[in-house]
Amino acid sequence: MVNGLRTAASAMSAQIERLAVLANNLANVGAAGYKADHPEFFQLLTSPRAAGPVSPTGPAAPLPELPGDVVTRTDFSAGPLRETGNPFDLAIDGAGFFVLAGPGGQRLTRAGAFTRAADGTLTSLDGWAVLGQDGRPIVLPPGARLEVDERGEIRVDGAAVGALLVVEPDDRGRLQKDGGTRFVAPADLPLGPAAGARVRQGALELANVNPILTLVEMIDALRVYEAAQRTARGVDDTLRRAVNEVGRPT
């Protein structure tokens, strides 16, 4: 019975974590380039069939922990593109990430809302420099018209000034989120050119969060939490009866 309480408590804890992930997705639905996180549950099983000679890796093997381990997986699918008309807004059509450089090192991002800094450097809105294919920040000379073609080549008033660095990691699953729209690549993760990527000027990639489905998932998480709560109350009531009434003289 005590295990029943632990299982119910673990289930409630897992749903709390699930709600936190879903709420964070919903809060970032308006953030350009945001990639949704999805909770994944690894249900652990204890079974009376585990008595006796059972393989430690078999499905009936006893496990030290109860259900409730939760990890999150980032969904790297592309979000919809929105035309903005701003020449400093850039989006990647296809695989790949822009590369930013700042105080914390390099970061990968799909959020292409850029601007021209006072010294001419092409930067993110919070001041991180956008890197070119030569691995250095892109510096824009004074000019009235900025043009970026599908290959990421940049021209100002018709004169070539550089090309955007667009990379694709060998394994996106190894990227670690840093804030809402940026990712850190481990030092041993190769970053090659993004084959087939096309840069769209005057557009932004929106978050790949479906707010309706996210709300439905949040409602489901609340219902599962309530069911686990009712289970815990039932087990607690059974324990109370066992302690207070079983064996009582009639």
Please indicate whether residue 67 or residue 117 has the higher confidence score (pLDDT): 117
pLDDT of residue 9: 82
pLDDT at site 248: 64
- Residue 80's pLDDT is what? 96
Measured distance CA(247)–CA(104) in Å, rounded: 66
Nearby residues of 173 by Cβ (< 8 Å), 6 or more positions away: 73, 74
Beta bridge partners of residue 169, listed in sequence order: 191
| Residues 76, 92: Cα–Cα separation, whole Å | 13
Q: What is the pLDDT, as a whole number, of residue 1? A: 52
pTM above 0.85, yes or no: no
Amino acid of residue 110: R
What value does the mean pLDDT take over residues 40-55?
47
60 — pLDDT class (breaks 50, 70, 90): very low
* 153/17 Cα distance (integer angstroms): 43
Q: What's the pLDDT score for residue 94?
A: 94
Domain regions of the chain by residue span: 2-47+64-76+209-244, 81-205
Which pLDDT score is estimated for 5?
A: 75
| pLDDT in the model for residue 63 | 41
What's residue 52's pLDDT? 45
* Average pLDDT of the residues in 106-130: 96
Q: What is the pLDDT of residue 182?
A: 96
136-187 pLDDT, tens digit per residue, is 999 999 877 899 999 999 999 889 999 999 999 999 999 999 988 999 999 9
**Predicted pLDDT at 79:** 95
Using pLDDT thresholds of 50, 70 and 90, give the confidence band for residue 40: confident
pLDDT tens digits, one per residue of 174-231 = 999 998 899 999 999 999 999 889 999 999 999 999 999 999 999 999 999 898 888 8
Q: What is the DSSP string of 102-136?
A: ETTEEEEES--BEEE-TTSBEEETTSPEEBBTTSS
Q: What is the distance between the alpha carbons of residues 174 and 170, in angstroms, rounded to a whole number?
A: 9
Contact 98, 165 (CB under 8 A): yes
Share of the chain above pLDDT 90, in %: 61
pLDDT value at position 68?
Answer: 46
Q: What is the pLDDT of residue 14?
A: 86
